[in-house]
Amino acid sequence: MSTLDSLEFDNRFTNELDGDEILLNTPRQVQGAMFSHVKPTPTSMPSLIAISDEMAEELGFTQEQLESDDFAQMVTGNLVLPGMDSFAMRYGGHQFGNWAGQLGDGRAINLGELVTPSGERRTLQLKGAGPTPYSRTADGLAVLRSSVREFLTSEAMFHLGVPTTRALAAVATGEQVLRERAFPGAVLARIGRSHVRVGTFQYFTARRDDEAIAALARYVAERHYPDSLSAQSPALALLDAVVAAQAALVAHWQSIGFIHGVMNTDNSSITGDTIDYGPCAFMDEYVPDKVFSSIDHGGRYAYSNQPHLAQWNLANLAQCLLPLIERDMHGDGASRDTASTDTVTQSVHDADTDPGRQAAVDAAQASVDAFTGLFEAAWLERFSRKLGIESPREEDASLARDLLDIMAADSADFTLTFRQLGATADVARDAFNDPDQFDAWQARWLTRVAEEARPAADRQRDMQRVNPAVIPRNHQVEAMIRSAIDENDLGPLENMLAMLADPFDERAERSFLATPPELVERVTQTFCGT
């Protein structure tokens, strides 16, 4: 008997897909399977660092359960409940544009699919819970600094309204993990609607395993996009739905200055959620080609490139779904030779000689091309709202872009500029070295908003609902991590979590998260810290 017996687990993934029944955690060659049953590696001296009470409540944990030893043991991987059937999923992916083959899951173990009291399914996953068959040469562990960064950032993203995986709990394992030097280890218990990635499909496409792709597509559609199943081509409808979800997601990122940092195909979620927080950060001063990640030398995942790279990832998904689209459209094609996973266009060459495939390629290409329009519409909607425009028109895009251009010219703070526009524009003006340009822009803006004939107070209220007052300022995140690790002080983490739970509200005591860093405080690089 466990205090946690009331939890309901239902592993449809395990039931519907081909699993590997050998219960062995060590890295090895797994034959054919799409996931492997594994158990987390027990830890000796776990201590809870943070719990998201609200997340826990949504999942159906009672206060008593949260305070129980069983809960702490479960989120460290020491207690695996009977219905969980814990497993690691298999996926591959492109890293920085290069096909990297099988990548994981090397250090994340799904404890199981939890059915919440409201009937939703959430994957409970432990990141850093020890090796899996897919760990390659790595240790399967995570360090405290990156776990804390993910905990804080994913919770902040949730409260900003961005689709994301969430943090349930972070635990220090009490063990040291060797990286450039020894660092304290941690396990992050995170919750997702799904942890299926573009790279999950890609792995099986690379193996030319059309049956696995079909099973995976069916699983994703049944669980996340049920409407697609009744379409003429369910696979094409699935692609359309993922394209739309990713376009909306990246427009949301752009609107709050969020830089993911490693948008590799294995970090690109099939549900359009933000997943795998690594060297991510919010930018302070607006620099369109801003990069934080210490390993992104070419600026591939710079802020301004994020839409393009999301579309690149989707072209790879389209490539994977092509045999299914062809089969849906023509009743066969399942066993055709699979082309390179690079882009849909690549397949056009193969299609020259095959009209059936040509039609499927054209349809998939059109779906991926639609990203541009969907993204631009979502971008216009978000940035118009940031400017207090209720009914956006196409030309409002240039109004927003022109503001961004003068912000870039003066390195104005992204968050603060929009926030101040919604309060007193004069304060926003002060941030510009060349106020004349701002004045000219402001005159256009005021003319535009006047056309909507709304009371200024209503407009300002609406603007403050979409322009956050506080974000996880990177220099403060780094300072918080230093306190947690060097001084064992979790106060700053708790404080920041509480403040970021309500990011649109203005309160004086939070000014440290509202204020950009001084020059000497700036943190210009973040590290994967795996």
| Window 86 to 105, contacts with ligand AMP (CB under 6 A) | 103-105
Exposed e or buried b per residue across 312-326, where buried means at least 16 C-beta atoms within 10 angstroms of its C-beta: bbbbbbbbbbbbbbb
CB-based contact 303:129 (threshold 8 Å): no
Q: Residue 113: which H helix or E strand, with range?
A: strand 108-115
**Contact with ligand AMP (CB under 6 A) among 267, 305, 347, 476:** 267
Q: Using alpha carbons, list the distances in angstroms from residue 114 to 76, 188, 193, 275, 403.
A: 17, 17, 10, 18, 45
Instruction: Give the closest residue to 190 by CA, choosing from 171, 217, 213.
Output: 171
Q: Is 266 in the site for ligand AMP (CB under 6 A)?
A: yes
Q: Is 12 helix (H, G, I), strand (E, B) or coil?
A: helix
Residue, CB closest to Mg ion: 276
**Contact with Mg ion (CB under 5 A) among 146, 153, 267, 268:** 267
> Residue 156 carries which DSSP code?
H
Least Å from the CB of residue 98 to ligand AMP: 13
Pick what 296 binds: ligand AMP, Mg ion, none; C-beta below 5 to 8 Å, kind-dependent.
none
Strand partners, 91: 104
The catalytic residue among 210, 240, 266, 410 is 266
The residues, any chain, with a CB within 8 Å of residue 191's CB and separated by 6 or more, are: 55, 59, 114, 122, 123, 124, 125, 165, 166, 167, 168
From 261-269, 362-370, 388-396, 399-407, give the range in contact with ligand AMP by CB under 6 A. Answer: 261-269
- In a 10 Å sphere around its CB, with 0-12 CB exposed, 13-18 middle and 19+ buried, how is residue 486 labelled? exposed
- Cβ nearer to ligand AMP, comparing 111 with 363: 111
Q: Is 522 helix (H, G, I), strand (E, B) or coil?
A: coil
* 266 catalytic residue (yes or no): yes
Pick what 528 binds: ligand AMP, Mg ion, none; C-beta below 5 to 8 Å, kind-dependent.
ligand AMP
- Cβ nearer to ligand AMP, comparing 125 with 474: 125
- Cβ nearer to Mg ion, comparing 146 with 476: 146
Q: Is 150 in the site for ligand AMP (CB under 6 A)?
A: no
| Window 109 to 138, contacts with ligand AMP (CB under 6 A) | 135, 138
**Contact with ligand AMP (CB under 6 A) among 262, 315, 449, 514:** 262
> How many whole angstroms from its chain centre is CA 207?
26
d(CA 274, CA 103): 19
Phi first, then psi: what are they for 342, rounded to 5°?
A: -65, -60
Q: Total residues at the site for Mg ion (CB under 5 A)?
A: 2
Least Å from the CB of residue 188 to ligand AMP: 13
Pick what 24 binds: ligand AMP, Mg ion, none; C-beta below 5 to 8 Å, kind-dependent.
none
CB-based contact 124:111 (threshold 8 Å): yes
Instruction: Give the closest residue to 85 by CA, choosing from 124, 112, 114.
Output: 112
> Residue 229's CB: how many other CB atoms inside 10 A?
12
Q: Is 192 in the site for ligand AMP (CB under 6 A)?
A: no
From 164-172, 185-193, 264-272, 304-312, give the range in contact with Mg ion by CB under 5 A. Answer: 264-272
Pick what 246 binds: Mg ion, ligand AMP, none; C-beta below 5 to 8 Å, kind-dependent.
none
d(CA 30, CA 490): 41
| Window 418 to 457, contacts with ligand AMP (CB under 6 A) | none
> Residue 42 carries which DSSP code?
P
Least Å from the CB of residue 280 to ligand AMP: 11
| Window 326 to 365, contacts with Mg ion (CB under 5 A) | none
**Contact with Mg ion (CB under 5 A) among 276, 284, 285, 396:** 276
From 207-215, 258-266, 327-335, 446-454, give the range in contact with ligand AMP by CB under 6 A. Answer: 258-266
Binding residues for Mg ion, rule: CB under 5 A, are: 267, 276
Binding residues for ligand AMP, rule: CB under 6 A, are: 103-107, 135, 138-141, 262, 264, 266-267, 276, 278, 528, 530
Q: Which residues are catalytic?
A: 266
